[in-house]
Amino acid sequence: MSNVHVRVNRCFLLFFLVFGLSQVMYFFAAGKVADVANLVVNIIYLSVFLVLIKKEGLGIQEYGLYWPEDCEKHIFTALLLAFVYSIVTVFLAGALIGFRASPTTASSSVSFQIVVTLLMAFVGESIFRGYIQGNLAKAYGFPLALSLSSFMFSLHRLPLPLIGSSSLMSGFDTAMSFFFMAIFLGFFFKTTMNLIGPVTFHAVVLLLNHFMPLAAIKTDYVLLFDVIAYIFLVILLNVVVVRET
């Protein structure tokens, strides 16, 4: 079996591990336990990821994990894009279809939630963009790799109705929102070949969603604003992004 096929197999095995542990966590963990469980499973994911790249004999730079010379510009670009996303999906959507209160959950301390969120963003981008998308692109090309890795990313964030207690439609909306996010982050990573921007964007969007007291009313049109936002961000990405040479 060729080295490329071995890496492809490892991509799917890594996904099934992440997906399986995520479903177990969604089913059993709640409240403060959920934050602790999230921390633990993400440490496990990160450990497995590091073991895999060590087995392949490549440095973490091959997976986009390095500090670029223009690190500040990467971070600023990601922050700008994250705030544009929130403006479109929260304030523009809310202005057109109405706002609802989005109370934050005090399951644990704010500082602990921020640490867990940052770890989730870092591990998620390292695995799904750096490792899975990167390896699948070598085997199948970028379009298919982007589609597969984005589908995997959205699926692992979805508490399945057959396992957990979430409603089907709510779960579908959540999965589609994460799918659109993954498509955009895949383009972001391909453009820069560095995970600083995707990790920053991912973390800021999660934090804003978690702590922002307002959200657009949930209607059939909410996902449309996600689509509009990410199409606009892909266009904006090609204008302001820092490209690696």
Q: Is residue 208 part of a domain?
A: yes
Which pLDDT band holds residue 94 (cuts at 50, 70, 90)? confident
Residue 137: domain span:
3-240
Whether residue 245 lies inside any domain: the answer is no
pLDDT at residue number 132: 96
pLDDT above 70: residue 20: yes
Domain count, the chain: 1
Percent of the chain beyond pLDDT 90? 51
| Residue 125 CA: distances (Å) to CA of 96, 156, 166, 199, 237 | 32, 13, 25, 6, 17
110/166 Cα distance (integer angstroms): 25
Q: Is residue 77 situated within a structural domain? A: yes
DSSP 105: P
Look at residue 113 and tell me if it is in a domain: yes
Tell me, what amino acid is at 84?
V
Q: Which of 26-40, 70-84, 179-193, 204-218 has the lowest mean pLDDT?
A: 26-40
pLDDT at 226: 92
Tell me the pTM: 0.91
Report yes or no on 94 lying in a domain.
yes
Q: Kindly state whether residue 10 falls inside one of the protein's structural domains.
A: yes
Query: What phi and psi, each to the nearest 5 degrees, are found at residue 167?
Result: -70, 155
**pLDDT (tens digit, 9 = 90+) per residue, 48-85?**
999 999 888 878 888 999 988 888 989 999 999 999 99
Closest CA to 45 of 120, 155, 154, 150: 120
In a domain, 160, yes or no: yes
pLDDT at 188 over 90: yes
